[in-house]
Amino acid sequence: MSKHAFVFPGQGSQFSGMGKNLYETNTLAKELFERANEILQFRISDVMFSGTDEQLKQTNVTQPAVFLHSVIAFKTLQAATPDMVAGHSLGEFSALVANNTLNFEDALKLVNIRANAMQKACEINPSTMAAVLALPDDKVEEICAAVQAETGEVVVAANYNCPGQLVISGSMKGIEVACERMKAAGAKRALVLPVGGAFHSPLMAPAKEELAAAIEATAFHTPSCPVYQNINAYPVSDPAVIKQNLIAQLTGAVRWTQSVQAMVADGATHFTECGPGKVLQGLVQKIYKEALADGVN
Angle between helix 59-75 and helix 91-98 axes, rounded to 10 deg: 30
What is the Cα 42 distance to its own chain's centre? Answer: 23
Determine which one of 127, 200, 201, 259 is catalytic: 200
Confirm whether 200 is a catalytic residue. yes
Burial 227-251, CB ≥16 within 10 A → b, else e: bbbbbbbebbeeeeebbbbbbebbb
CA dist 196 and 77 (Å) reads: 33
Q: Do residues 115 and 59 touch, judged by C-beta distance below 8 A?
A: yes
Residue 89 designated active-site: yes
| HSE value, Cβ hemisphere, 13 Å, CA-based, for 152 | 0
Work out the number of other CB atoms within 10 angstroms of the CB of residue 1: 5
Set 89, 127, 171, 259: catalytic member? 89
What sign does the CA torsion over 238, 231, 262, 95 have? positive
The HSE-up count of residue 100 (CA atoms within 13 Å, CB side) is 8
What residues are labeled active site? 89, 200
